[in-house]
């Protein structure tokens, strides 16, 4: 470093807030971000809410993460952990002038233990990269959120992420054996272990899905599954949404739990046709993507049965993926469906709610009814097998009246889910977006009981303040500039 | 220990009132389900009131189309399975003594799941709960749909907490269809090491048994295996391997061939292919039901790859030190073994407990003493060593039960 640069950086250091100076003592200053123009990219995630952080740091180890937490605590600044920022409920939006601790540099797969079918990873590992690395051993990591090419395992842990294949294989909590975490006092400890059971309270299970409010995971031990010997992915087109819904029910009633069971409605098909040109039948009002996997005999038997059940429900066309490329294409269309919405409207708002599977048909009808009443067009693309709806409300953010109707529409859909005995979120989390709706499903005593976890973890409000529980922030309020900020369509959004 | 009185709530409301009253009086309460796990845990500091949940067993709300059921905590596992079976469904986890054990008791005490190789732990099938807290407050966590990320997963915390954070009153469970066809292959071997070799061949193949267990020792001898007697000429066998295979008929047939082939290649003395009903007594042994209840039973968790070595050490120690040799059911697919040592004297229990903890430590795993003589309990923490997260657990207890009326001292770290 030349003397000139040295003196220049010294003069800049004079303007630095004390928090920054302290962080730079333990973390490479290149990874301590504090200039207002640099902070802008950290004010939002995949949701509509925004809030500017006090600073951002990108630690290079668990120890640096712990140091950052201790420094923030000393300065009375709350900490917000961040993965890839693909979250859809505002979990990574830093409220109350927080320090964002971004885990993206901790991105090593530390170990794949093929014999014991486990992997030890750092939180910044991108979801799909773990399965790619495990493929060499004929193993894979089951949770596969649609954002898997971008989202991180650490973020998946925070949100207890799902994905199309969680119908048969469960969500993140069913695959994480243990975690190394940094607690609010800056100590590092293990929750769970790298084996099936660990004695004591299941702190691992309490931590997963806590949306970054209890600590920061710095290492994650996960189960890997054997790559199935055979896979069959099928597409079935139907002339009515009802027929498709009935086919879903019939498949489950037949005693088959497919690896995935996804549905897209006509509006979604239109969007996909424009972008991906999959050539679905023009009269299809709904398509199902069904995947079965396992032993070759099981796959053959189950796919034949599914084909019969779809035909019995007036499927107008059934296609079977003949090779891995065709299978990949079927999934690319499904996982890219949200991204294709740009062809239909300037903006969309993606709602995540769950109803019991047996109420799927009624719920879909109600979603469309609510949309019609509010004069809003809704595209549906969702995990039909587990009743996880993803109504995608299409609109134009330049019309403030429309934006208000969009918020109301989302609210009414969640109310409907709650009334049907479902959930406010199947996989996106509560974050900022849904905290006001928690009373729809939980009493004050319920949330009171949940709030005891924070002091037990020593976290109080020092991690991700203003999230999950009612009263933290109001959806949309934190978002600064008038009515913009909803998803602009055409981005690589994912569900 | 004997409580001064027994409360028998018949409803959520009864339970809430009983706990609120005990809380006012500062009386220590222990929830009781089927009574199959009363011997588990450390000796409680105090025991004033038994909360017998057997009366809370009327609700079984099964929705086959959702593959879910919401049930009262006092419902017995076997009864639930029978009801679910009428719709072709089942609870995928299998624990010891299903005729007696209750859903609430199973969740609270988190026993070993026989089908862990394919279906994980008991907690993986819990979608939500109603729990009555120490002061009588009724709370709900999770929900009854299979995907749900609203709020903290408190039901995971209550699972395996031995009722020290609250009393489980109602549970929402995720279910699976019963497979078309199920067969058990039992193979007999001259040594457990041979059985382990066969197990590894099976685990490395594309097939996935629902359950895979190595049995050995006097209480789990091939000759004592109930309905399935070994064929002639294999009386010298000391270990058995049980594999349960399920699916469509074609898939099961191929899996059976694969397993018998693996057994043959590992020098099995013989094997049998057994229909489900006849296989049930064997699986009862695999769940540890035949073990000596007055002995010391340890549940040892290690990495699956450590199982052969662990079994060798158990057998060596059994022959050399303790008065009587141990019996065990080991699960090489997910790295767990239930080991039972018959005891001639209290010192045997001390030696066996020390041995179990040493083995766990050597393999960087965990051991929990599930049954042992009361006399040695004050000398050990039956849950073994917890590590630094014990501090969080203690604060958790303080948060949920500051008056320490729920099973005080019974849990890990004498929480």
In a domain, A471, yes or no: no
Give me the residues of A, 462-481, that contact B with CB < 8 A.
468
- Which one of B153, B389, B396 has the shortest CB-CB distance to A209? B153
Residue B34: φ, ψ to 5°:
-85, -5
Tell me what the pLDDT averaged over chain B comes to: 93
Shortest distance, CA B229 to any CA of chain A (angstroms) = 31
In a domain, A445, yes or no: no
Cβ separation B149–A174 shorter than 8 A? no
- The tokens of B379 are what? 């000398």
Domain holding A40, by residue range, is 18-102
Whether pLDDT at B234 is above 70: no
A98 and A114, same domain (yes or no) = no
Whether pLDDT at B232 is above 50: no
Do strands A487-488 and A388-389 pair parallel, antiparallel, or not at all (unpaired)? unpaired
Last residue of a domain, one of A206, A226, A246: A226
Length of chain B: 415
Whether pLDDT at B164 is above 90: yes
d(CA B180, CA B169): 33
Measure the CA angle with vertex A160, ends A156 and A163; round to 5°: 75
In a domain, A360, yes or no: no
> B73-120: per-residue pLDDT in tens?
999 999 999 999 999 999 999 999 999 999 999 999 999 999 999 999
Give me the residues of A, 151-190, that contact B with CB < 8 A.
159-160, 162, 166-167, 170-171, 173-174, 183, 187, 189-190
- Which one of A167, A203, A441 has the shortest CB-CB distance to B143? A441
Measure the CA angle with vertex A87, ends A328 and A264; round to 5°: 45
- Which one of B120, B305, B399 has the shortest CB-CB distance to A116? B305
- Sheet containing B49-52: give its strands across: B5-7, B49-52, B29-32
In a domain, A386, yes or no: no
In a domain, A265, yes or no: yes
Output the pLDDT for position B10: 96
Whether B334 and chain A come into contact, CB under 8 Å, resolves to yes
Do strands B296-301 and B366-371 pair parallel, antiparallel, or not at all (unpaired)? antiparallel
> B376-413: per-residue pLDDT in tens?
999 999 999 998 999 999 999 999 999 999 999 999 99
d(CA B394, CA B397): 5
Give me the residues of A, 333-362, that contact B with CB < 8 A.
354-358
B248 CB contacts (<8 Å, ≥6 apart)? Answer: A297, A298, A301, A302, B179, B180, B181
The percentage of residues in chain B with a pLDDT greater than 90, rounded to a whole number, is 87
Cβ separation B396–A200 shorter than 8 A? no
A59 and A73, same domain (yes or no) = yes
Output the pLDDT for position B177: 97
- A356 vs B contacts (CB less than 8 Å): 63, 66, 68, 144-145
d(CA B409, CA B199): 39
A203 and A237, same domain (yes or no) = no
A83 CB contacts (<8 Å, ≥6 apart)? Answer: A92, A102, A103, A104, A123, A124, A151, A152, A154, A155, A156, A158
* Beta-bridge mates of residue B371: B297
Q: CA B231: distance to chain centroid?
A: 31
Give me the residues of B, 232-271, that contact A with CB < 8 A.
247-248, 250-251, 254-255
A324 and A236, same domain (yes or no) = yes
- B182 vs A contacts (CB less than 8 Å): none
Output the pLDDT for position A476: 57
A160 and A213, same domain (yes or no) = yes
Kindly report the CATH number assigned to the domain that includes residue A126.
3.30.465.10
Whether A322 and chain B come into contact, CB under 8 Å, resolves to no
Whether A194 and chain B come into contact, CB under 8 Å, resolves to yes
> CA dist B326 to A381, A406, B316, Å?
57, 67, 10
Cβ separation B152–A450 shorter than 8 A? yes
How many CA atoms lie less than 13 Å away from A438 in the CB half-sphere? 30
A88 and A113, same domain (yes or no) = no
Kindly report the CATH number assigned to the domain that includes residue A307.
3.30.70.2190
Quick one: which H or E segment has residue B202?
A: helix B192-204
Q: Where are any strands of DSSP class E within B283-355?
A: 296-301, 327-331, 336-341
- Which one of B63, B177, B396 has the shortest CB-CB distance to A201? B396
In a domain, A453, yes or no: no
- The tokens of A241 are what? 């949404």
In a domain, A394, yes or no: no
Rounded average pLDDT over B231-246: 77
Output the pLDDT for position B221: 66
d(CA B373, CA B347): 10
Output the pLDDT for position A203: 98
Output the pLDDT for position A16: 87
Do strands B29-32 and B49-52 pair parallel, antiparallel, or not at all (unpaired)? parallel
Cβ separation A203–B157 shorter than 8 A? yes
Q: Which residue of A has its CA nearest to B63?
A: A358
- The tokens of A406 are what? 């969009």
Residue with tokens 């830093």: A94
- Residues A152, A244: contact at Cβ < 8 Å? no
Whether B139 and chain A come into contact, CB under 8 Å, resolves to yes
d(CA B405, CA B398): 11
A193 and A301, same domain (yes or no) = no
Give me the residues of B, 18-57, that contact A with CB < 8 A.
none
Residue-by-residue pLDDT tens, chain A, 495 positions: 444 444 445 455 457 899 999 999 999 999 999 999 999 999 989 888 889 999 999 999 999 999 999 999 999 999 999 999 999 999 999 999 999 999 999 999 999 999 999 999 999 999 999 999 999 999 999 999 989 999 999 999 999 999 888 889 999 999 999 999 999 999 999 999 999 899 999 999 999 999 999 999 999 999 999 999 999 999 999 999 999 999 999 999 999 999 999 999 999 999 999 998 888 888 999 999 999 999 999 999 999 999 999 999 999 999 999 999 999 999 988 888 888 888 999 999 999 999 999 999 999 999 999 999 999 999 999 999 999 999 999 999 889 899 889 989 999 999 999 999 999 999 999 999 899 999 999 999 999 999 999 999 999 889 999 999 987 666 655 443 333 345 544 333 433
- A&B contacts, CB < 8 Å: 252
Structural domain count, chain A: 3
A246 and A313, same domain (yes or no) = yes
- A191 vs B contacts (CB less than 8 Å): 389, 392
Cβ separation B412–A159 shorter than 8 A? no
Whether A452 and chain B come into contact, CB under 8 Å, resolves to yes
A280 and A314, same domain (yes or no) = yes
- Residues A247, A239: contact at Cβ < 8 Å? no
> B175-230: per-residue pLDDT in tens?
999 999 999 999 999 999 999 999 999 999 999 999 999 999 887 765 544 444 54
- The tokens of B42 are what? 């450390």
- B139 vs A contacts (CB less than 8 Å): 443, 445-446, 448-449
Cβ separation A455–B247 shorter than 8 A? no
Contacts 24+ apart (CB under 8 A), B313-317: B313/B359, B313/B362, B314/B339, B314/B359, B315/B192, B315/B216, B317/B355
Output the pLDDT for position B223: 53
- A228 vs B contacts (CB less than 8 Å): 206
Cβ separation A197–B301 shorter than 8 A? yes
A203 and A245, same domain (yes or no) = no
Output the pLDDT for position A335: 85
- B336 vs A contacts (CB less than 8 Å): 196-197
For B257, counting Cβ atoms within 10 Å of its Cβ (0-12 exposed, 13-18 middle, 19+ buried), the class is middle
> CA dist A152 to A172, A207, B145, Å?
12, 16, 25
Mutate to test the interface with A, among B16, B148, B257 (most CBs of A within 10 A): B148
A264 and A326, same domain (yes or no) = yes
- Residues B288, B96: contact at Cβ < 8 Å? yes
A252 and A314, same domain (yes or no) = yes
Whether pLDDT at B362 is above 80: yes
Whether A198 and chain B come into contact, CB under 8 Å, resolves to yes
Whether B86 and chain A come into contact, CB under 8 Å, resolves to no
Whether A111 and chain B come into contact, CB under 8 Å, resolves to no
Whether A37 and chain B come into contact, CB under 8 Å, resolves to no
Shortest distance, CA A74 to any CA of chain B (angstroms) = 21
- The tokens of A415 are what? 């109310």
For B305, counting Cβ atoms within 10 Å of its Cβ (0-12 exposed, 13-18 middle, 19+ buried), the class is middle
- A358 vs B contacts (CB less than 8 Å): 63, 65-66
Whether A205 and chain B come into contact, CB under 8 Å, resolves to yes
Cβ separation B152–A257 shorter than 8 A? no
Q: Which of A227, A226, A225, A236 is nearest to A321 (CA)?
A: A236
Rounded average pLDDT over B111-139: 97
Residue B302: helix, strand or coil by DSSP? coil
Mutate to test the interface with A, among B85, B140, B152 (most CBs of A within 10 A): B152
> B366-377: per-residue pLDDT in tens?
999 999 999 999
In a domain, A393, yes or no: no
Last residue of a domain, one of A46, A74, A102: A102
- A452 vs B contacts (CB less than 8 Å): 396, 399-400
- Which one of A171, A424, A450 has the shortest CB-CB distance to B154? A450
Diameter over CA atoms, chain B: 67
Last residue of a domain, one of A306, A322, A340: A340
């Amino acid at each position: 470093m030349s003397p000139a640069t040295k003196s220049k950086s010294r003069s800049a250091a004079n303007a630095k807030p004390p928090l920054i100076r302290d962080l730079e003592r333990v973390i490479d200053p290149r990874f301590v971000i504090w200039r207002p123009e640099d902070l802008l990219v950290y004010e939002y995630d995949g949701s509509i809410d925004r809030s500017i952080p006090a600073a951002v740091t990108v630690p290079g180890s668990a120890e640096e993460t712990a140091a950052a937490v201790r420094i923030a605590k000393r300065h009375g600044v709350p900490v917000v952990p961040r993965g890839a920022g693909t979250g859809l409920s505002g979990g990574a939006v830093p409220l109350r002038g927080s320090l964002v601790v971004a885990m993206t540099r901790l991105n090593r797969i530390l170990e794949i233990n093929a014999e014991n079918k486990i992997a030890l990873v750092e939180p910044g590992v991108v979801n799909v990269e773990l399965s790619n690395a495990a493929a060499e051993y004929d193993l894979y990591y089951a949770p596969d959120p649609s954002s898997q090419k971008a989202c991180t395992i650490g973020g998946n842990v925070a949100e207890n992420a799902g994905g199309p294949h969680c119908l048969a294989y469960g969500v993140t909590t069913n695959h994480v054996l243990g975690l190394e975490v940094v607690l609010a006092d800056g100590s590092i400890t293990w929750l769970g272990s790298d084996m099936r059971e660990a004695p004591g309270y299941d702190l691992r299970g309490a931590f997963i899905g806590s949306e970054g409010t209890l600590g920061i995971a710095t290492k994650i031990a996960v189960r890997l599954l054997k790559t199935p010997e055979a896979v069959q992915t099928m597409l079935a087109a139907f002339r009515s949404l009802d027929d498709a819904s009935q086919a879903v029910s019939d498949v489950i009633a037949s005693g088959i739990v497919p690896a995935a069971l996804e549905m897209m409605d006509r509006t979604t098909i239109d969007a996909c046709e424009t972008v991906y040109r999959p050539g679905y039948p023009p009269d299809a009002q709904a398509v199902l993507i069904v995947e079965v996997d396992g032993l070759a005999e099981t796959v053959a038997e189950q796919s034949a049965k599914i084909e019969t059940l779809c035909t019995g429900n007036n499927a107008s066309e059934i296609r079977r993926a003949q090779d891995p490329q065709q299978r990949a294409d079927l999934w690319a269309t499904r996982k890219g469906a949200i991204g294709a919405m740009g062809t239909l409207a300037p903006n969309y708002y993606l709602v995540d709610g769950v109803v019991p599977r047996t109420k799927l048909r009624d719920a879909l009808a109600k979603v469309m009814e609510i949309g019609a009443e509010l004069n809003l067009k809704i595209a549906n693309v969702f995990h039909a097998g587990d009743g996880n709806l993803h109504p995608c409300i299409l609109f134009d953010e330049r019309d403030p009246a429309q934006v208000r109707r969009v918020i109301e529409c989302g609210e009414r859909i969640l109310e409907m889910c709650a009334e049907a005995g479902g959930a406010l979120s199947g996989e996106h989390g509560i974050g900022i977006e849904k905290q006001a709706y928690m009373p729809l499903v939980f009493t004050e005593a319920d949330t009171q009981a949940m709030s005891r976890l924070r002091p037990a973890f020593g976290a109080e409000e020092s991690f991700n303040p203003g999230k999950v529980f009612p009263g933290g922030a109001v959806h949309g309020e934190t978002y600064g500039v008038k009515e913009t900020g909803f998803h602009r369509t055409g981005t690589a959004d994912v569900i | 220990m004997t409580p001064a009185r027994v409360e028998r709530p018949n409803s959520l409301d009864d339970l809430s009132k009983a706990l609120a009253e005990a809380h006012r009086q500062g009386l220590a309460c222990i929830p009781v389900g089927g009574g199959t796990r009363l011997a588990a845990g450390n000796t409680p500091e105090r025991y004033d009131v038994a909360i017998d949940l057997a009366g809370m067993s009327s609700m079984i709300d099964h929705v086959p189309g959702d593959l879910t059921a919401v049930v009262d905590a006092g419902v017995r596992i076997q009864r639930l399975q029978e009801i679910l079976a009428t719709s072709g469904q089942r609870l995928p986890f299998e624990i010891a003594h299903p005729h007696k054990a209750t859903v609430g008791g199973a969740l609270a005490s988190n026993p070993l799941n026989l089908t862990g190789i394919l279906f994980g732990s008991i907690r993986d099938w819990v979608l939500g709960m109603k729990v009555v807290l120490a002061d009588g407050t009724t709370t709900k966590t999770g929900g009854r749909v299979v995907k749900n990320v609203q709020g903290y997963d408190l039901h995971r915390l209550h699972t395996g907490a031995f009722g020290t954070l609250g009393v489980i009153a109602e549970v929402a469970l995720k279910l699976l269809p019963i497979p078309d066809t199920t067969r058990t292959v039992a193979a007999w071997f001259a040594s457990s090491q041979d059985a382990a070799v066969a197990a590894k061949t099976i685990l490395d193949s594309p097939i996935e048994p629902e359950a895979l267990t190595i049995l050995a020792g006097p209480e789990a001898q091939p000759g004592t295996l109930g309905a399935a007697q070994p064929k002639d000429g294999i009386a010298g066998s000391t270990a058995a391997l049980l594999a349960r295979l399920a699916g469509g008929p074609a898939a099961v047939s191929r899996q059976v061939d694969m397993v018998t082939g693996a057994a043959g290649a590992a020098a099995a003395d013989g094997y049998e292919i057994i229909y489900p009903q006849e296989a049930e007594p064997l699986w009862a042994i695999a769940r540890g039901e035949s073990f000596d209840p007055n002995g010391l039973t340890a549940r040892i968790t290690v990495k699956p790859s450590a199982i052969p070595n662990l079994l060798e050490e158990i057998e060596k120690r059994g022959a050399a030190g303790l008065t009587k040799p141990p019996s065990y059911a080991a699960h090489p697919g997910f790295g767990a073994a239930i080991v039972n040592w018959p005891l001639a004297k209290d010192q045997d229990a001390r030696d066996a407990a020390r041995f179990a903890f040493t083995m766990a430590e050597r393999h960087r795993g965990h051991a929990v003493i599930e049954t042992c003589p009361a006399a040695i309990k004050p000398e050990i923490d039956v849950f073994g060593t917890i590590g630094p997260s014990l501090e969080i657990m203690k604060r958790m207890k303080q948060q949920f039960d500051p008056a320490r009326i729920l099973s005080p001292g019974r849990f890990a770290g004498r929480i």
